[in-house]
Structure 1
Amino acid sequence: MNVLHISPRLRPGGVNQLAADLACGLQQAGFRNTVVSPPNELVGRLTASSVQHHSSRNIAVFTYLNELRRLRRLVASTKADIILAYTTPAANLAWRACNAMPEEQRPRIIGIHTTYPKHPGWATSLNRCDALVAISRHLRNELTRRAKLDPERNIWVIPYGVNEELCNPEYKPSDAWIQQWMRSCKEPEGALSVCVPGAITPLHGLEDLVPVLSRLNQINVPAHVYIAGDTARADAAYLNKLRKLFRASGIEKQITWLGHRPDLRDVICICDVVLSLAKAPACHDRTVLEALALGRPVAGYDHGVVGEVLDTFLPEGRVSPNDNAGIADRLEQWHAYRPHIYDSLPYPYRLGDTIRSVAELCSSLSREG
């Protein structure tokens, strides 16, 4: 079976590398895969896995007639049976490229959604797909609520699973890495080390660190927070506001700004706890899932995909949204005892589960065709 992936956002890290993981996994499972995406560091990995790659600078270039013809030629030359479209513009593009083809030659289109659609006319694009995939139950519910979908439209929920070879409870940072960390990040002996990963934006709720740390200080629970987010890409005014807030609240010395960390897996492993303080329900959060896969407890507000994942892995990590006192209480408990987490990832949160589910969907659509 021939699968064509259209992924205008393909790049390393987070959900944006889903197309590469699926293409390589499906290739290993016996499918023939071609990826259309901007050139990036993942192309070498695709080539090493015998996946063909065709470059595109931006999805917008396909709106021109000559580029649309180019995609039609690519669909024909690859003899695509299935097209996986990773954004709503990509799904619309795939439909336009294939709509004029004879029905018996037309590939089936699967729209894979990792975030809330923002493209104008996105509901129409959803209805043009032969099947839809959402990477969380929360996202499926939001798509159903916001879009006027066909009454019989079925949305498959296929979480973007974690690679167990990279994230597992047995993983440990190297001795050299640990020594470097100890030299650069010195925290009080016996302090609870807390990692807060994610973009530095108002949506990620870093202001809640003030009442959380203040509460822990009142009950004599030593804690130190490591914020792992790219300060260079953060809004300067917002970042300055946070720094002033932490200084005025007397918790400045309990916070270390790590900046962007390509070694985030090691940072998570060296810390005791991971926090999610997002103010709005998210439709995906790879870091929370990876932290749990590494055996690190996560406390977070019980909404969106964070509540969904914690409900499976660590129900006691769920805290009512905006209940920062509840977050502090949970950290106090975990400072006294370490909660039990799965020794291995449960279904469907392994990358192998994701690949098998997508393969089954592709095969079922091909049989229907």
Structure 2
Amino acid sequence: MKVMQLLPELNSGGVERGTLEIARALVADGHESIVVSNGGRLVPDLEAEGTTHVTLPIHKKSLSSLWQIRPLRKIIKHYQPDIVHVRSRVPAWLTHFALKGIPANQRPHLISTVHGFYSINRYSQIMTQAEKVIAVSDSVVKYITDHYKNCPPEDIVRIYRGIDPKAFPHGYQPPAQWFLSVYEDFPQLEDKFLICLPGRITRLKGHETLIELIEKLTKQYPDVHAVVVGGADEKKAAYLDELENSIQSKNLTDKITFVGHRSDIREWLAFSNIVLSLSNQAETFGRTALEALSVGTPVIGWNRGGVAEILSNLYPQGLIEVDDQTALFNAVQAHIHQPKDVAPVTMFSLKDMCDQTIALYKQVIR
């Protein structure tokens, strides 16, 4: 098979990681893998693993992107893929118009993946106009069936995102050298009960909730310390300042540490006593919650979206009613008093995700 995946850029994020993982699996299975994007820092990894990358500016939500329809049509005609797999709305629209200029009997099969709870409108509907629509969780299946009646339920295929259990092994402990360097950079973290909130700095991730929680907890438990693992891009610098001012005004500067963007997320998840998932909106999947549970760290999170699906299957005692601050406090308190064991994770594997996706490609071609 020859499969072409399209996405805006290849820098970081769940969509990007999923694209690389499927590309790697295709090559390993003896198929030809092509990715079209505006490029980014993950391109060298992609190419090193045997995928052809074609750079095309298909990332801008603006009318100027329509100039890319003809170049995209040319690329599709040149490579003649069996499958075109779109993973984002702008590439999906451009593909829609590009394919219209190709005779019906020469067009590739079209597959889309709905990675997000997009705003409900005609622009987003394009993600449900494919032969098969992959939904990354049951929550996303419900979102599609509730809002896009044009999409026949039999065309929706739920394929959970997955992680490699070898990359996040149960009971993982960071090496001594890692602890030394962390304690050198952040001496305030030594001998603390660590509560980790992973994720980039945006208003969606629940940082205000974390600050309120730590304010309450530290009155009773002086050894509690929160660590925020994730950076703020330039657009979010003002929000980061806002958070830091709030922390300062509550005299919590020595209780909450921002460690910025990190490539050693596995180590931070394993190092923490508990990991929180407090997003203000439902997440479509919740990969970080799964990674934390995979290494054996308890996760406490709101009962909604993909995180709720992961927790209800793997760690139901971590589920709490949405926005119930008292339940959150009580759940964290229970974990402080009595450390909890997390069973080894046997679901949501990367291999399952790749096998199911490649099986779907083959089914569509047949």
User: Which amino acid counterpart does residue 349 of structure 2 have in structure 1?
Assistant: R
Query: Which residue number corresponds to residue 158 of structure 1?
Result: 159
Q: Distance in 2 between matches of 1:134 and 1:152?
A: 11
Local SS of the residue matching 1:359: helix
Instruction: Compute the displacement of 1:214 (Å).
Output: 3.7
* In structure 2, C-alpha distance between the alignment counterparts of 1:231 and 1:74, rounded to whole Å: 35
User: 1:284–1:317: structure 2 CA closer, same or farther, 3 Å change rule?
Assistant: same
2:19 aligns with: 19
User: For each residue in 1:25-44, what CA deviation from the matched residue of structure 2 results, as whole angstroms up to 9, or x when unmatched?
Assistant: 11212221111112223222
3-state SS in 1 of match to 2:200: coil
SS for the counterpart of 1:54 is strand
Q: Secondary structure at the match of 2:267?
A: helix
Match of 2:326?
325
Residue 192 of structure 1, CA deviation: 1.3
Are 2:145 and 2:153, in contact at CA under 8 Å, matched by a contact in 1?
Answer: no
Measured after TM superposition, the shift of residue 138 of structure 1 is 1.4
Equivalent-residue separation in structure 2 for 1:11 and 1:236 (angstroms):
19
Q: Output one character per residue of 1:151-186: Cα deviation in whole Å (capped at 9) or x when no partner.
A: 455321112211223212243323221111122323
Deviation digits for residues 120-173 of structure 1 (CA, Å, limit 9, x no counterpart): 633542353111011122122122222242445532111221122321224332
CA distance in 1, matches of 2:56, 2:190: 52
**Separation in 2, partners of 1:199, 1:188:** 20
Q: Residues 186 and 144 (structure 1 numbering): CA distance in 2 closer, same or farther, change over 3 Å?
A: same
User: 1:324-343 alignment to 2 at 5 Å?
Assistant: 324-343=325-344
The aligned residue for residue 112 of structure 1 is: 113
| Alignment correspondent of 1:365 | 364
Partner of 1:63: 66
Which amino acid is 2:169 matched to?
A: N
Q: Return the offset for 1:365.
A: 0.6
* 1:280 paired to 2:287: no
What is the CA–CA distance in structure 1 between the aligned matches of 2:352 and 2:57, rounded to whole Å?
Answer: 31
Counterpart of 1:63, as a letter, is L
Mark the runs of 5 or more structure 2 residues left unpaired by the alignment: none
- Structural mapping, 1:1-369, within 5 Å: 1-60=1-60, 63-64=66-67, 67-118=68-119, 121-152=122-153, 154-187=155-188, 191-220=192-221, 222-231=223-232, 233=234, 235-343=236-344, 345-347=345-347, 349-367=348-366
After the TM superposition, which of the residue ranges 117-126 and 318-327 deviates more from structure 2? 117-126
- Alpha-carbon shift at residue 99 of structure 1 (Å): 2.9
How much is the aligned-residue C-alpha RMSD, in angstroms? 2.4
* Shift of residue 116, structure 1, vs aligned partner: 2.6
Partner of 2:126, secondary structure, is helix
CA distances 1:49-105 after superposition (whole Å, capped 9, x unpaired) = 2211111133456522xx433322322332211111011222222232223433332
SS at the partner of 1:204?
Answer: coil
CA change 1:340–1:364 in 2 (3 A) is same
1:256 deviates by: 1.1
Contact kept? 2:131, 2:155, Cα under 8 Å: no
Q: Give the distance between the partners of 1:362 and 1:83, measured in 2 at CA.
A: 10
Contact 1:282 1:306 in 2 (8 A): yes
> Which amino acid letter does the alignment assign opposite residue 139 of structure 2?
H
Code of the aligned partner of 1:352: K
Counterpart Cα distance in 2 of 1:242 and 1:123: 32
Distance, in Å, in 1 between the alignment partners of 2:129 and 2:244 is 48
Calculate the TM-score normalised by the size of structure 1: 0.89
Within 1, Cα distance between the matches of 2:168 and 2:240? 31
**What's the secondary structure of 1:166's corresponding residue?**
coil
Q: CA deviation at 1:358?
A: 0.5
After superposition, give the CA deviation of every residue in 1:215-250 in whole Å (9 maximum; x if it has no partner): 333444631001123245464443333233323334
Going from structure 1 to structure 2, the CA distance change for 1:325 and 1:190 (only over 3 Å counts) comes to farther
Report SS of the residue matched to 1:34: strand
Q: Which amino acid aligns with 1:298?
A: V
Mapped to 2, the partners of 1:123 and 1:220 lie a distance apart of 47
Question: In the alignment, is the contact (CA less than 8 A) between 1:123 and 1:149 conserved in 2?
Answer: no
Q: Calculate percent identity across the aligned residue pairs.
A: 25
State the TM-score, normalized to the length of structure 2. 0.90
CA contact (8 A) 1:276 1:298 kept: yes
Q: Which runs of 5+ in 1 are unaligned?
A: none
Deviation digits for residues 290-314 of structure 1, max 9, x if unmatched? Answer: 1112211111111111111111111
1:180–1:234 distance in 2 versus 1, CA, 3 Å? farther
